[in-house]
Structure 1
Amino acid sequence: MSAQTVGIRASRPAYALFVLPFVTLYVLLLLWPLAKGIWISFHDHDLLSDDSFWVGLANYKELFADEVFHQVVWNTIRFVAISTPIFVILSLMLALALNRPGKLATFLRATFFCASVFSVTLITLVWKLALMPERGLIAQMFAALGIPELPLLTSDNLALLTIALVTVWWIIGLPMIMFLSALQQIPGDIYEAAALDNTPRWRVLTHITLPSLKRAVILVTLIEVIRQFQVFPQIMLMTNGGPNNTTRSIVQFTYEQAFMQLSLGYATAASQILLAIMLIGVSAQLWLERDRKGGAR
């Protein structure tokens, strides 16, 4: 056995010491709360008295029979279905348009990204003022164009769409930056070869750029699906789940059950269902990545 091999084996305890802080934090901040949440979801847990009684799957059975929970799940799915395609398509278009040198492109990239660092309280306050009936900016624009005023936040059909558009306006900069990063990783030699062949721009886009961005599109899509399933603060601040329960999300339902109804076990069961949806999204990402690698072979 060589001295080098002995040295490597002797240093393995030192490697463990390097990762021990991370493993400790990972267990304390992620695995333990996750296990505790699953355990609480099988109990009738009162938040004030801290009394806990084992009820098994009763919380889950009650959730599946709860029409309000059915509504909030459907609301959340609709919100994801509305916002995610807009996020992906619009952020990709912005990235393609701003992926060029120059001060103007740099200024516009910074402008789109800056909105995403503002607090949700500030964003919702600005948009609630803009969407005020009669006196709001949107209402005045409609009046100037001769268009009848629309009840954007008070209509059962329009409220969720309005919140989705506000959310896109707020954080469109993050997926745009991801696409810009992916665009800048495409080798420039490919574009130079296409230019030498006098390849039309639309063919460069459809045969070089978009195929090279396939992985980025999948990643951004799944990240936005997972993020938008957790929608809560903008809904809480703009409509509080109304009108007629048409904008209430799973996270808001969980919050209300835990801190207003004080039914922690029931709320935790709802959060575990949301967690299952997140795991499905992650599993889909892994499956798509495996399928892409298999196809590349």
Structure 2
Amino acid sequence: MSAAHTVGLRASRPAHAFFVLPFVAVYALLLLWPLVNGVWISLHDHDLLSNDSLWVGLANYRELLDDEVFHQVVWNTLRFVAISTPIFVVLSLMLALTLNRPGRLATLLRATFFCASVFSVTLITLVWKLALMPERGLIAQAFAALGIPELPLLTSDHLALLTIALVTVWWIIGLPMILFLSALQQIPSDIYEAAALDNTPRWRVLTHITLPSLKRAIVLVALIEVIRQFQVFPQIMLMTNGGPNNTTRSIVQFIYEQAFMQLSLGYATAASQVLLAIMLVGVSAQLWLERDKEAKR
């Protein structure tokens, strides 16, 4: 390569920044600026009615530490994530393994499971509230036909959160299933053909070929669901409104109520920063555990 050509390449390198400048600008405007501004607002006592803002430092965070309601909503959200995420991963993987085959029936079932996630949360919660109505609902009538005592699924302190988690899984199980189906179709068919020639049992094919090949997909689905379920709000708001006795109220509902009902934007923003920190810790811990397992192998 000639010296002149080398000099030309070096001279053009600063101009390469213009290709990434639009992305950096949009990234800073839509992500970095809201994050920085959110931290700034959380350090103020900001009233939405008067738009007055008073610097209070870490007072909002100290108040959250002493707020029993906030402690309860954090615990509720952690329980919801712990209940729903494993169900999402296991059930969607089982559905993907079952429906990963040619044929019209498998295609119809894949479309059916995925279509449910397209419906609005309002429609889903309306259908399930009708189904879960005491005495006249579909679930109550099914229990009565089987001779099982009716369960207060939405009015019990112990069952309400579990019921909402199961409704959430029924609603959006289609997306993780599609992700697993996509990963399954990336596995080379030659491996399965070689296993068939060796008369390898199905359970060995599953445990030694399929599941190891899906390791990255499993981690991806788990991370997506952890992030999504930490932000649970509309189905809880519409089905129980946080009741009974605050046992289903989530962090996002707490933030919404503080910001738009109590009009305390600084306090609500401080709670949102805590939620962000919890999500980052959860995702980081999951990635660390996954890397630790790979290192041991």
**Interval of TM-score (by shorter of Structure 1 and Structure 2):** over 0.9
For residues 1-297 of structure 1, the aligned pairs below 5 Å read 2-288=3-289, 290-291=291-292, 294=295
Gap runs ≥5 in structure 2: none
Q: State the TM-score, normalized to the length of structure 2.
A: 0.95
Q: CA deviation at 1:279?
A: 1.3
Residue identity opposite 2:214 in structure 1:
L
Q: Which deviates more, 258-267 or 217-226?
A: 217-226
Q: CA, structure 1 residues 116+142, in 2 after alignment: closer, same or farther (shift >3 Å)?
A: same
Q: Which residue type is aligned with residue 283 of structure 1? A: S
Q: Is the 8 A contact 1:219 1:285 kept in 2?
A: no
The Cα shift of 1:2 comes to 3.5
1:159-196: CA deviation from partner (whole Å, max 9, x where unpaired): 10110000000000111111111111112111111111
Q: CA deviation at 1:286?
A: 4.2
Cα shift at 1:290: 4.3
Shift of 1:18: 2.1
Distance in 2 of aligned mates of 1:124 and 1:4? 65
Measure, in 2, the Cα distance between the counterparts of 1:87 and 1:160. Answer: 16
- Given the superposition, is the C-alpha separation of residues 42 and 139 from structure 1 closer, same or farther in structure 2, using an over 3 Å criterion? same
Contact 1:242 1:248 in 2 (8 A): yes
Aligned CA RMSD, in angstroms, stands at 1.6
* Superposed displacement of residue 14, structure 1: 4.1
Residue 27 and residue 98 in structure 1: after superposition, are their counterparts in 2 closer, same or farther (change >3 A)?
same
Further displaced range: 269-278 or 17-26: 17-26
Give me the whole-angstrom Cα distance separating, in 1, the residues matched to 2:4 and 2:290.
41
Number of positions where the alignment pairs a residue of Structure 1 with one of Structure 2: 296
- Deviating above 6 A after TM superposition, structure 1's stretches of 4 or more consecutive aligned residues are none
Percent identity, aligned pairs only, is 87
CA distance in 1 between partners of 2:100 and 2:5 (Å) = 49
CA distance in structure 2 between the partners assigned to 1:146 and 1:38 by the alignment:
55
| Residue 285 to residue 21, structure 1, CA distance change in 2 (3 Å) | farther
Deviation readout 1:250-274 (Å, 9 max, x if unpaired): 0000000011001111111110010
Is the contact made by 1:84 and 1:225 (CA closer than 8 Å) also made in structure 2? yes
Amino acid at match of 1:109: R
- Aligned residue type for 2:134: P
Q: From the superposition, tell whether residues 142 and 260 of structure 1 become closer, same or farther in structure 2 (CA, over 3 Å).
A: same
- Partners in 2 of 1:11 and 1:127 — Cα distance? 61
Q: Secondary structure at the match of 2:30?
A: helix
Contact 2:131 2:138 in 1 (8 A): yes
Alpha carbons 1:45, 1:51 under 8 Å: kept: yes
Q: Shift of residue 20 of structure 1?
A: 1.6
